[in-house]
Amino acid sequence: MIYSKKLYPVKNIFNLIIFILALLNFNLVAAAMPVPAPPSVAAKNYYVVDFASGKVLAEKNPDVQVEPASITKMMTSYVVYKELEADRLAMDDIVDISEKAWRMGGSRMYLEVNTRVSVHDLLKGLIIQSGNDASVALAEHVAGTEEAFVQLMNEYAAELGMENTNFVNSTGWPDKKHLTTARDIATLAAAIIAEFPEHYEWYAEKEYTYNSIKQYNRNKLLWRDDSVDGMKTGHTDSAGYCLVASASRSDMRVISVALGTDSKKARANVSQALLNYGFRFYESHTLYDAGEVLSRPRIWSGEFETLTVGLADNLAIAIPRGAYDNLDAIMDIDKNIEAPVSKGQQIGVVKVSLEGKELVSVPLVALETVNEGSIFQQAKDYVLRLIN
């Protein structure tokens, strides 16, 4: 048997005020802002997503495979972060610079062959200066060869759900088999921000000096828009000018991916327009936190009489700006919950809807383990259930 219970986010007090004012004949209308079509921009592919909820705010050819150029280095850095996290690598580890790394063309941090450089400095050169030489040096240090490192890149891509991605090198050097999509890149960007916030900060740095050579971050939005704090540019003749950007305004973070523009200026302008669109017409809210107790339903034959239930993960949504007060959240729980119940076991769902349209349905889980009760408790509950 299922019962439904209305869940009220923080808005309930505000709703009461609105109701009272309406009774006093105040002409108040709570209407969401109309959401127009995304801006017409000069990018072959783009993708705009709310970081907290994962809601897509705008897209164009999001699953068409393209060459990503130096945006590839986001995955190179992600693999390095994973090695650091697992204590298989340290920032002060020293890397021997091979001739292959030294000979890399394109953007470089100007490493010298047979010198020794720290992982810390190479990561700075990779992220801020987009150094191809730094990418190869890190790849060789982590996996022995760049080819072996690429296997790690593709394994992590698969784990993240980057279904249309295939890496061939660590740099983004042109190759017709080196492909990804705007959607997959956004997935990677979100993973870096969520899993490694302490390293993500480097994507906001505007310059880095190595070997007495100062180079500037090619992400021009870092100078134009204070809300932008990352992430990565890319350019080859085959890929065009590309930019992954992330910005945070008023507790909302938006990630944009713009691929295949025709100039440095265009990729910045396109990304700015896409970010502005996301922030202008949408708002993001975390309705319930992971582990927050949402209900204490009756549990039968257990060591306790009630069970605390909630969500395993934060429940965040992105909705048209001004629509928050039209949200409804319903909790459906099995009325006949019987011990034993394990922590994390699903016992219902939470459904969030906007003006009658369901936005999301997520599992409602036990926040604790409840074992079977004593023989006396089980007998008592048996009688109570017969009576009821």
Active site residues: 70, 73, 130
- Directed axis angle between helix 146-160 and helix 73-85, to 10°? 90
Cα dihedral: 70, 74, 76, 82 (round 10): 180
| Exposure of 141 in the CB half-sphere (CA atoms within 13 A) | 31
Cα distances (Å, whole numbers) of residue 18 to 28, 100, 161, 252 = 8, 68, 44, 26
Alpha-carbon distance of 20 to 14, in angstroms, equals 10
CA 234 from chain center: how many Å? 20
Instruction: Quote the tokens at residue 65.
Output: 């495979």
**How, if at all, do strands 240-249 and 2-7 pair?**
unpaired
Please provide the size of the chain in residues: 388
Q: What residues contact residue 83 under an 8 Å CB cut-off, 6+ apart?
A: 89, 142
Rounded Cα gap, residues 341 and 365, in angstroms? 10
Contact 182, 257 (CB under 8 A): yes
**CA dist., res. 133 & res. 211, Å (int):** 14
β-bridge mates for residue 232, sequence order: 244
